Structure 1
Amino acid sequence: MKASYRTGVLLTLVSLFFVLLAPDAMAGTGGTEFNNVWTLLTGWVEGLLGRIIAIVFVIVGLVAGVVRGSIMGFVLGVASGVGLFAAPTIITNIVTATL
């Protein structure tokens, strides 16, 4: 056996050993003191303020697209607006995901 092959096999076995010994992750089970902040920021982003910011993204993107003579500014503005509006839902789904 070559030394590099043995090293790779040994590294794989040690990695598997450490994975099996790892404790369960309990992410997202605490932090209730930040619920008010999360509710406030989510309300801003999904509410009227978020819609105004999304419209501003689209308008700025449209102006940038006209100045540059390219549609990409408008596309980036629309993508930013949609991303801003969907961000709280995406973050909630990522943080509360279970295996």
Structure 2
Amino acid sequence: MPFVITAAFIAGFSDACAGTGGEEFADVWDTLKEWIQGTLGRVVCGSMILVGIVAGVARQSISAFAVGIGGGIGLYNTPSVIESVLSATITPENIELLNSMNNTML
């Protein structure tokens, strides 16, 4: 009986389609990107590196310094990574390249 109710509930939904909307949040994204890659982001990244240096000296280990640098670099590059991953598109040139690579592998 629970299976039938669940199936009926799911069948009542229309098809789901991914959208390209969401322009309402473009201002929020632009603000966050400017904060991260602007002066505020540089101050935060510098602070992360400074805290890493202090922690490395206190622990007598370079690993804390490396984590500080990695965190700072990662924070600064986060918007670029997100945009490149989530806005990936397939162009006709890329399709031709993929087809040529596929043909050479066979």
Same fold (TM over 0.5): yes
Give me the whole-angstrom Cα distance separating, in 1, the residues matched to 2:63 and 2:44: 19
Give me the whole-angstrom Cα distance separating, in 1, the residues matched to 2:86 and 2:53: 34
1:31 aligned onto 2:3 = no
SS at structure 2 position matched to 1:97: coil
TM-score by length of 1: 0.71
Q: What residue in structure 1 maps to residue 82 of structure 2?
A: 91
Give me the whole-angstrom Cα distance separating, in 2, the residues matched to 1:71 and 1:48: 27
Q: What residue in structure 1 maps to residue 65 of structure 2?
A: 74
- Structure 2 residue runs of 5 or longer lacking an equivalent are 1-14, 91-106
What is the aligned length? 75
Counterpart AA for 2:47 = V
Q: Which has the higher contact order (CA 8 A, sep 6+)?
A: 1
Counterpart AA for 2:84 = N
Distance apart, 1:68 and its partner CA: 0.6
Counterpart AA for 2:87 = T
**TM superposition outliers: structure 1 runs of 4+ over 6 Å:** none
TM-score by length of 2: 0.67
- Structure 1 residue runs of 5 or longer lacking an equivalent are 1-22
